[in-house]
Amino acid sequence: MKNLVIAIDGYSSCGKSTTAKAVAAALHYAYLDTGAMYRGVTLYLLENDIPFDDLERVRQALHQDIHISFKRNRRTGRNELCLNDKIREDDIRQMRISNAVSEVSVIVEVRHAMVAQQQRMGRKRGVVMDGRDIGTTVFPDAEVKIFMTAEVEVRARRRQEELAAKGEHVPLEDIIENLRKRDHIDSTRAESPLRRAADAVLLDTTHITITEQVDFVLDKVSSALFAAYAHKINEQLSE
């Protein structure tokens, strides 16, 4: 059967990454967290005191100094982000990165560099990608496109629990403000804004479990695989 590209886009803390990882595991597909890549760039710029509006230094860093990859953690089974060959997965999830990543994501040079790398990673297909512009920009020909959303208060509580589990305690109001700011920046940026692709299926995760989210996506994958199989049979019969 044909390997598919599964694009899962949507707002922060809707369960995109958790769902995407589970779907990839169920299908034995590769998983790529594109949002982590932008977080990795943000981390590098902050740690090296590179202003986001210094486009020459940002461009130089992207082409010469920033090397992003993923490494599978055998103990947890997670794909973890490596920045310049060092695992920085926990560092990129800090609130200070969440507060800055949308500002970095709007930089055209950053988006071009990350999209090109994402397209190379997914060229062989058989991949689940989650982000904000996968179904519209990175892989507009993806066979399965999901757009996830949820009420902002629910998303904030989920994010607060994730941070608390890592020892970072942030007031709920601060997280809500951060999410709303990121939503606005992501949805209004000129380059590859966050939007639902015309052929993406909407999935509101406000009142459903992760298991239900995964089942929803796998159902859409089954339909896409059946459609691809039927198309192949019809082509063979018409020859």
- For 82-129, what is each residue's pLDDT tens digit? 999 999 999 999 999 999 999 999 999 999 999 999 999 898 899 999
Q: Is 14 assigned to a binding site?
A: yes
pLDDT digits (tens, 9 = 90+) for 159-198: 999 999 989 999 999 999 999 999 999 999 988 899 999 9
The number of distinct structural domains making up the chain is 1
Q: Is 17 assigned to a binding site?
A: yes
pTM metric for this prediction: 0.85
Q: Is 167 assigned to a binding site?
A: no
The answer to whether position 238 is within a domain reads no
The answer to whether position 142 is within a domain reads yes
Q: Is 13 assigned to a binding site?
A: yes
Confidence of residue 234 (pLDDT cuts 50, 70, 90): confident
The answer to whether position 234 is within a domain reads no
**What does the pLDDT read at residue 227?**
83
The answer to whether position 231 is within a domain reads no
Confidence of residue 230 (pLDDT cuts 50, 70, 90): confident
Domain with 218 in it: what CATH number?
3.40.50.300
Q: Residue 108: which domain range?
A: 5-226
**What does the pLDDT read at residue 1?**
55
The answer to whether position 166 is within a domain reads yes
The answer to whether position 237 is within a domain reads no
Provide the pairing of β-strand 5-10 with 127-131: parallel
The answer to whether position 236 is within a domain reads no
